[in-house]
Chain A
């Protein structure tokens, strides 16, 4: 690369590790809340819509409560996102100084979406009492759009790091010209963005459903719990098959454009046709140990033909190979495995619903749903590990190495420790607050003083409070 490598590496090496860990940790934290910010609005509006359209008070109450919870997660998402913005500069000043004019464009757009989201979120959350029902519902709609738009712009920036384009460098490696459209609509956005948005819907949907599943396992099987499980679970289960399709496309694109990453997470050592697909196992220089191998499948998945030639790590220059192949491989397998399991969960629900218009009755179903929320989060984390660690040693694929980007500031490990403490507090605080909320709601339900929104009371929908029998459809 032209004009690079001027950094005193000894000082930077420890910084590099610290900065990466810090970045990964804070991103991993933020992304969970970001998923809720992207997808909860649609889930809440669905419940709100059922409430308005069918006079379903349970659905209405769920919408109202979820929106209260979202106020908390949104605030935590906003602060952790702000920290990330700072971190770009604090940890990777060289990266921002050199590529901010290209990489930054997407974030400038993101600013508008977050702004609009924050505004309508405030109107929606604080508008329950005084706005009229449908005006209030519509005030929530922009959140759905801005959530998707925000995810688009942030992930387009990340996609650009994977497949950078739309800029011209001079001899010294400085960006002298840019093409904003090319930057935004880089080749990787078309699979990364939908994959992330679907992941957000899966994470939010399964997570909310899992909370109600736990409640039902503890014996709270009233209609509100059933609805609280069914609405988000349906949304997440619809997203799942599409997600697997998009993920499959992503894998092929990565094989084409980032062969080092692909070889890394598939543990392919030698270039050639008829590559075996390994499930699990440990990557070594001689191949995968302790894995289940399916001969030819890897080649088939990449090119729909077992003769497809797939690049192995032997053809990647040693200093451009991704680190931690076993981590990459297992992360990828975990993502795909969890995705497939969740697909099975959706099929189970769909089948029983089709036959009996009800959710499956066995506790095993509830247990599976209870586990689905955390599983979806783990799958999403694993996907990010595949994407980010798999891109190493590059911060901008092919143009800038991560070690060139890192700050020379002292005390990054110290900062990491501080952030760890701070975020642990933040996480515990958020969980405690949400639990306190739910406890209060349960007491309210038992005391039966319903908090009717939209001042003039809604039509009195008195629904049977049973586990069986009444579906939302059956409610009208």
Chain B
């Protein structure tokens, strides 16, 4: 593996962590959005809020991580992606602002109307942001970003594959969030919410599965290169992903709680890496290879060193945060 490949692997690791933790976060917002009126939705909303509050800030730093690694290690690709896909990217950024603000303000505001307005901003953007991010990923996979940049601002992402990927991102986040909330409710001894989120986890899992299959068809049509690698080199990952998905379904039906979270995470992680394997060795299929896009060696070294520090410093700290949060030592 060359240094450039390692840097790409770091990028994908960041994407994976963002997809899992950020994704679950967005998913929580989706369930919040459709939890019904103030009265009916109060219990699930409270559960969601409790699970998200201490960790949401940290979950989102993965996005920053992806951006800085991308622009440092693969600057030309970053420029090309940004100058082509600026519409969905700007919309995702708007979503991030609304979401962060809505979430932060809602906790601190008492009047119901305000809480509602903030809650709505939070929840709506929870859906829009992952959708547009998915569209960006789909557009890259489809090969719609020219390496010199300034590709078509609309046709690059207003196509079946990007749109389906966007939908897949939304559904996956909802799925992960529901599974996490099942486990959290279980731990809190809240039977009602446990059942509430279990049925939603199943629903979201099925929807996500359907989008994944549709995405595969679109991949076949729009991104032949990636499709062909996915069904050969990527096949093991596809199989593991499907197995994990069915495993979660089985556990939910049999009311098993052990292994629920790891399996759900596995189902998502394998999809992200399947995407990576499918477009390898290209960063922008099929015009810009990872090796061609990479920054000079010393910059890549710096990225690797920074990543090593991240593993040594950030991961233990993050572990501590999740541990404290799971132990219920953090509350408002």
A binds B: yes
Which segment, of A97-105, A263-271, A383-391, faces chain B?
A97-105
Q: Pick the contact of B97 from A410, A422, A440 — CB < 8 Å?
A: A422
Known: A80-B97, A100-B295, A130-B328. A119 touches B71 (CB 8 A): no
CB of B168, distance to nearest CB on chain A (Å): 22
A374 close to B (CB within 8 Å): no
Residues from chain A with a CB closer than 8 A to the CB of B89 are 86, 89-90
Most buried by A among B72, B81, B96: B72
Known: A75-B103, A82-B96, A107-B68. A127 touches B324 (CB 8 A): yes
**Looking across the interface, which residue of chain B has its beta carbon closest to that of A142?**
B317
Which segment, of B58-66, B175-183, B217-225, B268-276, faces chain A?
B58-66
A429 close to B (CB within 8 Å): yes
B291 close to A (CB within 8 Å): no
CB of B217, distance to nearest CB on chain A (Å): 31
Q: Pick the contact of B79 from A93, A108, A112, A432 — CB < 8 Å?
A: A93
**Looking across the interface, which residue of chain A has its beta carbon closest to that of B104?**
A75
Q: How far is the CA of A99 from the CA of B79 in the complex (A)?
A: 10
Q: Is the CB of A180 within 8 A of B81?
A: no
Q: How far is the CA of A129 from the CA of B310 in the complex (A)?
A: 29
B240 close to A (CB within 8 Å): no
A32 close to B (CB within 8 Å): no
**Looking across the interface, which residue of chain A has its beta carbon closest to that of B111?**
A436
Q: Is the CB of B78 within 8 A of A96?
A: yes
Which segment, of B26-34, B155-163, B246-254, B300-308, faces chain A?
B300-308
Q: Is the CB of B61 within 8 A of A409?
A: no
CB of B307, distance to nearest CB on chain A (Å): 9
**Which B residues from 285 to 332 make CB contacts under 8 A with A?**
295-299, 301-303, 306, 309-310, 313-314, 317-318, 320-321, 324-325, 328-332
Q: Is the CB of A78 within 8 A of B60?
A: yes
Q: Pick the contact of A179 from B72, B96, B298 — CB < 8 Å?
A: B298
Q: Is the CB of A96 within 8 A of B71?
A: yes
B80 close to A (CB within 8 Å): yes
Q: Is the CB of A114 within 8 A of B83?
A: no
Q: Is the CB of A118 within 8 A of B101?
A: no
Q: Pick the contact of A130 from B73, B94, B329 — CB < 8 Å?
A: B329
Known: A90-B89, A100-B295. A126 touches B105 (CB 8 A): no
Q: How far is the CA of A426 from the CA of B93 in the complex (A)?
A: 14
Q: Is the CB of A122 within 8 A of B321?
A: yes
**Which B residues from 103 to 129 make CB contacts under 8 A with A?**
103-105, 108-110, 118
A4 close to B (CB within 8 Å): no
Q: How far is the CA of A99 from the CA of B96 in the complex (A)?
A: 26
Which segment, of A54-62, A170-178, A315-323, faces chain B?
A170-178
Q: Is the CB of A176 within 8 A of B75?
A: no
Identify whether the interface residues of B are mostly helix, strand, loop, or mixed.
Answer: helix
Q: Is the CB of B57 within 8 A of A78?
A: yes
Q: Is the CB of B309 within 8 A of A112?
A: yes
Residues from chain A with a CB closer than 8 A to the CB of B53 are 126
Give A272-298 as 1s and 0s: 1 = Cβ < 8 Å from B's Cβ atoms: 000000000000000000000000000
Q: Pick the contact of A88 from B71, B301, B306, B332 — CB < 8 Å?
A: B71
Q: How far is the CA of A110 from the CA of B64 in the complex (A)?
A: 10
A123 close to B (CB within 8 Å): yes
CB of B84, distance to nearest CB on chain A (Å): 9
Q: Is the CB of A90 within 8 A of B86?
A: yes
Q: Is the CB of A89 within 8 A of B81?
A: yes
B150 close to A (CB within 8 Å): yes
Q: How far is the CA of A438 from the CA of B320 in the complex (A)?
A: 31
Q: Is the CB of A126 within 8 A of B330?
A: yes
Residues from chain B with a CB closer than 8 A to the CB of A78 are 57, 60-61, 100
Known: A104-B75, A112-B313. A72 touches B105 (CB 8 A): yes
B164 close to A (CB within 8 Å): no
Q: How far is the CA of A86 from the CA of B68 in the complex (A)?
A: 10
Q: Pick the contact of B75 from A74, A90, A97, A432 — CB < 8 Å?
A: A97
A418 close to B (CB within 8 Å): yes
Q: How far is the CA of A101 from the CA of B296 in the complex (A)?
A: 7
Q: Is the CB of A101 within 8 A of B75?
A: yes
A348 close to B (CB within 8 Å): no
Known: A72-B104, A90-B89, A111-B68. A97 touches B79 (CB 8 A): yes
Q: How far is the CA of A415 from the CA of B78 in the complex (A)?
A: 20
Residues from chain B with a CB closer than 8 A to the CB of A179 are 298
B69 close to A (CB within 8 Å): yes
Residues from chain A with a CB closer than 8 A to the CB of B67 are 85-86, 89
Known: A82-B63, A85-B64, A108-B302. A100 touches B72 (CB 8 A): yes
CB of B301, distance to nearest CB on chain A (Å): 7
Q: Is the CB of A96 within 8 A of B317?
A: no
B90 close to A (CB within 8 Å): yes
**Looking across the interface, which residue of chain B has its beta carbon closest to that of A407?**
B83
Q: Pick the contact of B299 from A72, A90, A101, A131 — CB < 8 Å?
A: A101
Give B35-73 as 1s and 0s: 1 = Cβ < 8 Å from A's Cβ atoms: 000000000000000000111011011011101110111
Q: How far is the CA of A110 from the CA of B61 in the complex (A)?
A: 11
**Looking across the interface, which residue of chain B has its beta carbon closest to that of A97?**
B79
Q: Pick the contact of A127 from B297, B301, B329 — CB < 8 Å?
A: B329
A121 close to B (CB within 8 Å): yes
Q: Pick the contact of B65 from A83, A115, A178, A430 — CB < 8 Å?
A: A115
Known: A96-B75, A105-B299, A436-B110. A114 touches B100 (CB 8 A): no
Known: A118-B58, A122-B58, A440-B110. A107 touches B104 (CB 8 A): no
Q: Is the CB of A89 within 8 A of B71?
A: yes
A347 close to B (CB within 8 Å): no
A300 close to B (CB within 8 Å): no
Q: Is the CB of B94 within 8 A of A418?
A: yes
B206 close to A (CB within 8 Å): no
Residues from chain A with a CB closer than 8 A to the CB of B309 are 112
Give B183-224 as 1s and 0s: 1 = Cβ < 8 Å from A's Cβ atoms: 000000000000000000000000000000000000000000
User: What are 17 A-to-B residue pairs whose CB atoms are below 8 Å?
Assistant: A82-B64, A90-B86, A93-B82, A93-B83, A97-B79, A111-B310, A112-B314, A115-B58, A118-B61, A119-B58, A120-B317, A130-B330, A407-B86, A418-B94, A422-B94, A429-B118, A437-B108
Chain B residues at the A interface, C-beta cutoff of 8 Å: 53-55, 57-58, 60-61, 63-65, 67-69, 71-73, 75-76, 78-83, 86, 89-90, 93-94, 96-101, 103-105, 108-110, 118, 149-150, 153, 295-299, 301-303, 306, 309-310, 313-314, 317-318, 320-321, 324-325, 328-332
Given contacts A110-B68, A119-B318, list 8 more A-B pairs with CB under 8 A: A86-B67, A104-B72, A105-B302, A111-B68, A111-B306, A115-B65, A131-B329, A175-B296
Please name the 4 residue pairs, one residue from A and one from B, whose CB atoms are nearest each other, closest first: A97-B79, A100-B75, A104-B72, A89-B82
